[in-house]
Amino acid sequence: MTTNKTGKQNWGMVVDVDKCTGCQACVLACQSENNVPINTQERFERGRAISWIRVERYWEGNYPDVKARFIPIMCQHCENAPCEPVCPVYATYHNSEGLNVQVYNRCVGTRYCANGCPFTVRFFNYWEPVWPESFRNHLNPDVTVRSRGIMEKCSFCVQRIRRGVRTAKKENRDLIDGEIQTACSQACPTSALVFGDLNDNNSAVSKMKHDERTYKLLPHLNLDQNVVYLAKVDPEKKIESHSVESGSHD
């Protein structure tokens, strides 16, 4: 399966909620890949969370028939992103590859974008990041270390995308589906996260996107996200009704 090397990709992700076990390997992989600062409990309790992907846990049913459910949430890379028009300095914009881009050295820290995002996936650097001495050589040299006053969020590991595209061009070949992985999709032990090119009809994400379990978060907002979810399968109900009711099948 190949995609066009002329740069016409539309990157997207499919999250199969039925496969997610809530292990949080994706969260750790993202943190180490993208030099996400280490938080403290005290800051977290003051509402200053910082994590590009989170796994939300919720409970379904009544005791004793209670089931733990997990849903990974990251930037949804919306085509109609509410964070973009509110930025006064164009630090966030949508590019031609389906990515919602954050330009760190343009950001002046108004945080309008964080207020505009209904998924709460944008994070503000309230403090200068500090890593233990033993971690210093573990920082990813391909990713900027953001300083205080900067807004940040999931980039779909754009550094990996750029490296993959450069390698394919250098070898004068098309990109191979699955060749470019985000840190979270690579780390997920159950393959609940699948990343790829939505413009390639033969890619895994394109095929999964048309599964009958497909839905998008908050579809009534018409944000046209590039992240789609596959609903949890309940053996008794076949597909969980809450997911399908909130879903769109485009």
Nearest CB to ligand SF4, comparing residues 11 and 195: 195
Among 147, 167, 190, 241, the residue binding ligand SF4 under the rule CB under 6 A is: 190
- In the complex, minimum distance from the CB of residue 57 to ligand SF4, in angstroms, rounded to a whole number: 10
CA dist., res. 213 & res. 239, Å (int): 7
Nearest CB to ligand SF4, comparing residues 91 and 194: 194
Q: Is 188 in the site for ligand SF4 (CB under 6 A)?
A: yes
Q: Is 36 in the site for ligand SF4 (CB under 6 A)?
A: no
CB 177 within 8 A of CB 202: yes
Q: Is 17 in the site for ligand SF4 (CB under 6 A)?
A: no
DSSP helix/strand/coil, 229: strand
Q: Where are the strands (E) in 95-167, listed by range? A: 100-102, 123-124, 151-152
Among 13, 14, 25, 175, the residue binding ligand SF4 under the rule CB under 6 A is: 25
Q: Is 192 in the site for ligand SF4 (CB under 6 A)?
A: yes
Q: Which residue in 214, 204, 206 sits closest to 239, CA to CA?
A: 214
Per CB under 6 A, which region of 1-9, 24-32, 77-85, 198-206 contacts ligand SF4? 24-32
CA dist., res. 128 & res. 142, Å (int): 19
CA dist., res. 98 & res. 92, Å (int): 13
> Would the CA dihedral through 113, 11, 56, 241 be positive or negative?
positive
Among 1, 5, 24, 140, the residue binding ligand SF4 under the rule CB under 6 A is: 24
Residue ranges that bind ligand SF4, judged by CB under 6 A: 20-26, 55, 70, 72, 187-188, 190, 192-193
